[in-house]
């Protein structure tokens, strides 16, 4: 999928992988099921994985943007605007032309003209770029945006600064962070291309300014130095301008000729040959290399923008692809000191269907007795690989880290990796005994005690009042079971 399609996929993923504590106001489990069915109808069950994900993301993003104006704004803010490249190039060209026009004298010191400084600066840039390339090849450094790159990217609306995400809704802030991180290689190639073109424009402007003024004014070339004598100056000029001299046939003066154009001894000589030599040198060491680097950056940019690298093997996309292939999703429930009733099992099946589609199947294993976490036998663990494991507790129980927390750790240690684990709390018995009066207080107790478990926590309400948040918690748990490479 291309850059725009990948951006839509990241947007939809942000809405569908929020923690249960942060449900998306503009996207529900029913919307997710609709997007899947719409993509299936448009592309079919046998469509390629990226084609199905792309089409589904397009449908879903369109619905999200129709409901939340901020989503459309953030999508636009995270889209690269080409005007920044044109602006920098024209600004650099004008600055280059003005460099010579601002000079107060028509004398050119051949040891220190603006073009020599330009050469030194570009050679330093090449050296830094070479070091970074070697470090990347050696695996000691990854793509990283420097301060200038970040400023240009933000000016081009290709990156939303972290300080501007505070006012966004939770899914949009998560989307902005995820996209900025994933699009670093593409942004770096764009900024690199922009800077290379700007450097070419500045150098060309500097040369053009000198030649244009040279048509109406006479430049005099010479040199002066506190520390260097004529032989040393001759050596420096031969080193810097030697390739241009050999290429053009324009001869450099010998040591005596260099001594004869020293300011103070003489008024110098007509600067035409020096301007020509420096122009060819700048072409060799600035215009040509920068042009090649700009072309290479552009090729990388087009490749990444046309086929954006997006990992479809993570659990979120794999869940969507299972729905496309109509593969069942296996959810295994391990109760602790509690045998769930029909209401709870029905609610769990409904949540699994809302989270993973109609093919999701829930199996409930035998209950682990209170205190049995220390001797958790293999009969409590699913024999076949499962998509998701659920540790089920009754809300009537008082959560204790010594027992409930230890059970969670024991179950997680025995599950095949990387099977995700969530904590579910059955509210059915509690509601029958106490009604809804103490429900919030009891929920808060479980949330506080289970906060350090590292697992998603959901409450199984027989009336399905929180079904959307619970379904999102199930999807978020599966999505968090990323590969080690993705976590890095």
Q: How confident is the model at residue 460 (pLDDT cuts 50, 70, 90)?
A: confident
What tokens were used for 405? 């927390």
Give the 3-state secondary structure of residue 314: coil
- The domain segmentation of the chain, as residue ranges, is 3-81+311-316, 83-163+179-306, 328-482
Give the 3-state secondary structure of residue 362: strand
What tokens were used for 222? 């010479």
β-strand pairing of 388-394 with 330-335: parallel
Q: Mind listing the pLDDT tens digit for each residue in 183-216?
A: 989 999 999 999 999 999 999 999 998 898 888 8
Indicate the class that CATH gives domain 328-482. alpha beta
Cα dist from 484 to 177, 179, 252, 314, 455, whole Å: 20, 19, 61, 10, 18
User: Rounded to two decimals, what is the model's pTM?
Assistant: 0.72
Q: Mind listing the pLDDT tens digit for each residue in 392-445?
A: 999 999 998 888 989 999 888 888 877 888 999 998 888 888 877 788 889 899
| Range 446-471 average pLDDT | 81
| Range 34-51 average pLDDT | 90
What is the pLDDT, as a whole number, of residue 238?
95
Q: Is the pLDDT of residue 487 over 50?
A: no
């Amino acid at each position: 999928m291309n850059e725009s399609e990948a951006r839509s996929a990241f947007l939809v993923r942000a809405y569908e992988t929020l923690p249960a504590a942060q449900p998306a106001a503009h996207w529900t489990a029913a919307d997710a099921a609709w997007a899947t069915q719409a993509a299936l109808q448009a592309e079919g069950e046998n469509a390629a994985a990226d084609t199905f994900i792309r089409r589904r993301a397009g449908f879903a993003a369109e619905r999200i943007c129709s409901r939340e104006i901020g989503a459309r704004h953030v999508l636009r803010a995270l889209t690269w605007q080409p005007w920044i490249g044109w602006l920098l190039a024209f600004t650099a060209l004008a600055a280059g032309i003005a460099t010579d026009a601002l000079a107060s004298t028509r004398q050119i010191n051949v040891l220190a003209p603006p073009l020599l400084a330009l050469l030194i600066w570009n050679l330093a840039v090449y050296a830094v770029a070479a070091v970074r390339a070697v470090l990347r090849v050696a695996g000691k450094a990854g793509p990283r945006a420097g301060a200038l790159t970040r400023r240009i990217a933000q000016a081009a609306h290709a990156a939303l600064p972290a300080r501007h995400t505070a006012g966004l809704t939770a899914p949009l802030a998560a989307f902005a962070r995820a996209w900025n991180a994933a699009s670093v290689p593409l942004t770096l190639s764009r900024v690199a291309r922009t800077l290379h073109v700007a450097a070419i424009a500045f150098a060309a402007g500097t040369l053009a300014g000198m030649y244009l003024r040279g048509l109406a004014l006479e430049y005099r070339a010479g040199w002066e130095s506190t520390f260097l004598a004529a032989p040393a100056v001759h050596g420096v000029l031969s080193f810097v301008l030697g390739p241009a001299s050999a290429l053009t046939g324009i001869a450099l003066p010998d040591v005596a000729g260099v001594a004869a154009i020293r300011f103070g001894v003489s008024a110098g000589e007509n600067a035409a040959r020096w301007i020509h030599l420096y122009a060819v040198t700048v072409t060799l060491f600035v215009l040509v290399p920068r042009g090649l680097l700009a072309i290479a950056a552009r090729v990388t940019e087009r490749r990444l923008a046309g086929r954006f690298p997006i990992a479809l093997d993570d659990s979120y996309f794999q869940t969507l692809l299972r729905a496309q292939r109509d593969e069942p999703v296996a959810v295994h429930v391990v109760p602790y000191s509690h045998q769930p009733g029909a209401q709870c099992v029905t609610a769990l099946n409904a949540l699994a269907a809302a989270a993973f589609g109609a093919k999701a199947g829930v199996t409930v294993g035998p209950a682990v007795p209170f205190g049995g976490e220390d001797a958790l036998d293999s009969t409590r663990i699913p024999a076949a690989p499962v998509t998701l494991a659920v540790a089920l507790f009754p809300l009537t129980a008082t959560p204790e880290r010594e027992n409930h927390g230890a059970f969670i750790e024991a179950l997680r240690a025995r599950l095949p990796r990387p099977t995700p684990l969530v904590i579910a709390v059955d509210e059915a018995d509690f509601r029958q005994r106490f009604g809804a009066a103490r429900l919030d207080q009891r929920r808060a107790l479980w949330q506080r005690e289970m906060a350090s478990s590292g697992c998603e926590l959901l409450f199984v309400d027989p009336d399905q009042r929180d079904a959307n948040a619970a379904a999102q918690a199930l999807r978020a748990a599966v999505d968090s079971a990323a590969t080690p490479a993705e976590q890095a």
